[in-house]
Every structure is written in C-alpha cells, then in structure tokens.
Amino acid sequence: MFCLDLTSDIKSDKASLRNMGIIFGINPLIFKEKFMNSIFNFSAGPAMLPVDVMKQAQEEFCNWHGLGVSIMEMSHRSSQFLALAKEAEQDLRDLMNIPDNYKVLFCHGGGRGQFAAIPLNLLGDQLEADYLVTGHWSKLAIVEAKKYARISKMDIIIEKHGKTAVMPVSDWKINPTSAYVHYCTNESIEGIEIFDVPKTGKVPLVADMSSTILSRKINISDFGIIYAGAQKNIGPSGLAVVIVRDDLLGFARRSIPSILNYEIQANAGSMHNTPPTYSWYLAGLVFKWIKKQGGIGALEHKNITKSKLLYDCIDASTFYSNNVDLSVRSRMNIPFRLTNKGLNETFIRESTAAGLLSLKGHSSVGGMRANIYNAMPIEGVQSLVDFMVGFERKYS
C-alpha cells in the first residue's frame, strides 16, 4: 500500500499524482480516484513495507529524534546509531528466538552477495558442498558457488498427481563429507516453499530464507547459517541479514574479500566498513512493527489466512490455476495462470486500474504472481480475490 501525506489539499498535488499514475501505467484520473481508496502493491521485491513503518520513517526523515539531522546523515559510529543498531539486532533476536551461540550480521550485497559469501566462508580447505535444486534461486546459488567448490547437485523437484512437489526431506541424500548443504526454503518465482527441515547431522545446513524469513516460526538451532536479502520481509534492499552459528566462523578462504568475511564482520559488529545504515534503521522499525503485531506466531497465522484465501479462489475455478502441490505451496508468493492466455494483458490492465499493482508473473514463468509478504494486509488479498471473481464473471 502506498502512503503519501494527503492532508494538504489534494488538488494542489495534482501533478505528482498524475506522475505516479503514469509511473504505474494508469490513467491519471482513474489513478486519482483509486488512490483515494487504496492501492495494493503485490511487487516481488523490493516489496511493500508496512504503512506504519513508512509513516514513522517519513515523520522522522529530516529530524531523527530531535537531533536536527536525518539518521541517514549520521555516522555509523555515533553512539546514537550504535544504540539503534544494537536494538534492531536485539529485536530480531527476540522475534526469532536466536540463541546466544549465533551471530547476527547486517551485511551488504543482498541475497546474491551471500551466494558467494557462503562458499568463501565455509569451505576452508574442503572442496565439496551439496546444493539442493528447487528452482530459480537455488540454481543461481549454484552458479556462484561453482566458482569456488565442487558442487554436488540434487534435484529434489518431483511430480505428484500432475503437480510440482518436493521430495520429502527424509529422502534427501546428504553427502556426509560435504563442507555444508545449501537449500532455498522458499522459491519466490515458482511459489514453492519447503516447510520441513532436513536433518543433516554434522554437515552444516545453510538456508536462503530471503523470501520467507519472519513469515513463520522456525527453530534456529536446526540451521548452521540462515541468510536473507532484506527487500521482502525485512526492509529496503541493500541489506542482507545473516544468522551464523559461531563454530562456523574461522573457515574462510584466505582470498575472501574482507567485506564478505563473516568472522571479520562479527568481530566488527557488522561495521568493517560503513554498513547500509538507512536500511538497517528501517529494518529496525519493521522488527518493532512485527512485535506490535504479536510476533512471528501472529504473522504466521495471518499469512496462513491470506494465502488460503487466494489459493481457495484459484482452486475453486477452472478459469485460474496453480500447479504446485498443497504440501509445498508458498505462503508468500502465489503464481497463477489464466486458462485463457489471451486474457493475460487484459487482466494486468484491469487489475492495475483497480489499484492492484505488479501482478505480472516472472518472465521465466509467465502468467500472474501475487507476492503477499508480511506487510500485505488481508484486505489487499481480499481485494485481489474480489477482482479475480469479477474478472472471471466478466470474461468466462
């Protein structure tokens, strides 16, 4: 959802409204009318942020806590920023129940930066790592890791009653001599989410949680490393959160860039160099917002409700379809197709005009995709469902 301060006379702000309409390819008049009600942003990432967070950031943008400067303009070494950074970390620790033997790092480079950092930090003088393949992101993680290690790939996608499913975690064959095993808990493009956690024994389990972190409860101790690019459920892009068990520090290759070295970053409080301070600050506001929502358990409950609402709408119709097996359907990213492909463009045009933005599917998959991360309210999903039912009635 957008938030703009419209308390001043809206007519005086016509030009900027028109521009925003043009940005999203909407007739400015329609945009203005819809804008007064509500716009829901289904973007894959950077994704919508909670409205309350945006409003607070706007309020204190130029004058943070009465200091007369923006938090963006302050030294990362100032006592104020250090306190803010520590508080954000503590809030995340509280929310996710992170044990003391795990470090929490606020890094640069998003999710893909970690695709390189993981092998460089964990391989030491070992040569092999295991990677599970479930879709777009796990494949890209392999492309990066291959530069540094011999990768054993295991494709765990299977077909079940004509739908895409994932092999049960108990059947995953982990090589016991691997330096680590890597998988992606939520493939945001295919809409596949793995809810069970594999038992990998002594082999450290590394999880890319970029598009599912903070959306449901997990047990941190099941993992060696969890990492996530921020722009889905944490805050703005430019930041990656890494949660690493401390016995995994100290195995970095000598050639690793210091900025990617988890041990160096852990010892420097994630400030080996200037961290992405504004993203860190906004992440802290998001963590506070999650606490106010009742924590991850409450959000998980809401995410189950939201995703069920949309899947039920898709399943109840022959006009729409989703080809992912029930057991691994993502609660965050819901791809769906129109049976009549000829209506794709019309669907995008009319949904956009109705204030439902960014529903076009990823180019590699086609069709539509609704990304409904933590910040998407139930009303947003309900609006989409109402629109879809109406669209079907109109065109079937």
Ligand X SMILES: *Cc1c(COP(=O)(O)O)cnc(C)c1O
Residues 6+ away with beta carbon under 8 Å from 139: 133
208 is catalytic: yes
Residue number with CB closer to ligand X (104 or 388): 104
Q: Which is nearer to ligand X, 20 or 107 (CB)?
A: 107
Nearest to 239 by CA among 275, 271, 266: 275
User: Which CB sits closer to ligand X, 21 or 198?
Assistant: 198
Helix (H, G, I), strand (E, B) or coil at 49: coil
- What CA–CA distance (Å, rounded) separates 208 from 242? 10
Helices (H) and strands (E) in the chain, counts: 11, 16
Indicate which single residue of 50, 198, 224, 229 sits in contact with ligand X (rule: CB under 6 A): 229
Taking residue 210's Cβ as centre, other Cβ atoms within 10 Å add up to: 26
CA distances (Å), origin 319, targets 315, 331, 389: 9, 21, 10
Told to judge if 341 belongs to the known catalytic residues of this protein, a careful annotator would answer no
- Picking from 211, 191, 174, 172, the residue whose alpha carbon sits closest to that of residue 327 is 191
Backbone angles phi, psi at 127, to 5 degrees: -115, -15
According to CB under 6 A, which one of 210, 277, 279, 383 is a site residue for ligand X? Answer: 210
Q: Which two tokens stand for residue 105?
A: 């790092």
Question: Is 233 a residue that touches ligand X (CB under 6 A)?
Answer: no
How many residues contact ligand X, by CB under 6 A?
12
CB of 164 to ligand X, least distance (A): 16
Binding mask 117-156 for ligand X (x = CB under 6 A): --------------------x-------------------
Site string for ligand X, 6-45 (x = CB under 6 A): ---------------------------------------x
Q: Does 194 bind ligand X (CB under 6 A)?
A: no
Rounded-to-integer distance, Cα 5 and Cα 190, Å:
36
Binds ligand X (CB under 6 A): choice among 121, 134, 178, 211: 211
Work out whether 184 is an interface residue with ligand X (CB under 6 A): yes
**Is 335 among the residues that bind ligand X (CB under 6 A)?**
no
Assess 208 for contact with ligand X (CB under 6 A): yes
Q: Report CA 167 to chain centroid distance, whole Å.
A: 23
Q: Work out whether the CA dihedral 70, 71, 76, 80 comes out positive or negative.
A: positive
Task: Rule CB under 6 A: say whether 236 interacts with ligand X.
Answer: no
Residues of this chain, 71-110, that bind ligand X according to CB under 6 A: 110
Q: Is 11 known to be catalytic?
A: no
Is residue 392 a contact point for ligand X (CB under 6 A)?
no
Known catalytic residues are: 137, 208, 232
Residues contributing to the site for ligand X (CB under 6 A): 45, 110-112, 137, 184, 186, 188, 208, 210-211, 229
